[in-house]
Amino acid sequence: MRRRARYLTISFVIVILLAAGCSVTPPLLRVLMNARGGQQEGTPVALAKVEDITIAGPGGQLPLRIYTPEGTGHFPLFIYLHGGGWVFGTLDQSDNVCRYFAGKVGCIVISVDYRLAPKHKFPAAVEDAYGATQWAAENAKRIKGDPARIAIGGVSAGGNLAAVVCLMAKDRSGPPLVFQLLAYPPTNISTLETASYRDFARGYGLGKSHIEWYRKHYLEDKEDGKSPYASPLLAVDLSNLPPALVLTGEFDVLRDDGEAYAKRLKEEGVPARYIRYANMGHIAHWTMESGQAGDALQQAAFALDHAFSQ
């Protein structure tokens, strides 16, 4: 209860500071978010092995954390990309959730510590996410994984990156992916003029001004936001992408982004399931709690397990 109170207090401070615009710098935001402790409620799932490694990434050494479940393998692999507006987020803040997926689904989870803005602007995070996916495919057997069963997913900015990696894999002829999990994803950051941005701009947690702040730090200029690798909804062709589960919250400014992306996937022949959670705002991090937020995590695990069993 004390941890939950601290989470709410720090989250409220973050919202107030971000609303003040220049009062918050990316380093300060990272300090505040790290202090809140991520979503570490609940007992961490025990696994056979959790290992921190570094690989050669597009911009230098790229840290990964690999979660291996009990068993002999070869396990399916799930590339996980944390949220944080491309500006903050750590491997530790996603630790419980990655453990949950590894234990619940029986897959190897590879959590990616991609480069963050504004020091590393677009497309640094995108290239790191794709580079980690390539590494997973090339080294799957070495870590007891199955290179024929690789999925990718993430929450918030991580959902954006996951969708983009699927586009990149299609454009660059691999690696093949079997599923994409997109939770509360921004899919078009070239414009913030949807109905959900208008209706929930203030008073629902994450607001329109916050997205503007993240976008300013992530992109070199607004024109970059028109790239499909920043805004996957703007891709000319979404056919032949992996099956998807797209999750949104009713009161999330990003709701219409996720809904529009799921609709386009379906229209272009991609098996896509869309779930909108009523009376919920934006969830920047998965939660281990019960209720609708916990249900979203369970739905994600069920969908991932189903994709791997096909």
pLDDT tens per residue, range 71-117: 998 999 999 999 999 999 999 989 999 999 999 999 999 999 999 99
- Is residue 282 part of the annotated active site? The answer reads yes
Q: Which CATH class is domain 45-309?
A: alpha beta
| pLDDT at residue 185 in the model | 97
Extents of the domains making up the chain = 45-309
> What's the chain's length in residues?
310
Q: What is the pLDDT of residues 156-198, one digit of tens each?
A: 999 999 999 999 999 999 999 999 999 999 999 999 999 999 9
Catalytic pick among 95, 113, 128, 156: 156
Are 244 and 181 in contact by the 8 Å Cβ rule? The answer is yes
Q: What is the pLDDT of residues 189-244, one digit of tens each?
A: 999 999 999 999 998 888 999 999 999 999 999 999 999 999 999 999 999 999 99
Cα angle value 189/16/27 (rounded, 5°): 70
Catalytic pick among 252, 256, 257, 285: 252
Sign of torsion over alpha carbons 190, 194, 200, 204: negative
Q: In whole angstroms, what is the distance from residue 26 CA to residue 287 CA? A: 24
Q: Give the rounded percent of residues in the chain with a pLDDT score beyond 90.
A: 76
- Is residue 156 part of the annotated active site? The answer reads yes
Flag whether pLDDT at 290 surpasses 70. Answer: no
Catalytic pick among 210, 217, 282, 285: 282
Are 107 and 36 in contact by the 8 Å Cβ rule? The answer is no
Spell out where the chain has E strands.
Answer: 49-57, 60-68, 75-81, 108-112, 145-155, 179-183, 244-249, 272-277
| pLDDT at residue 15 in the model | 54
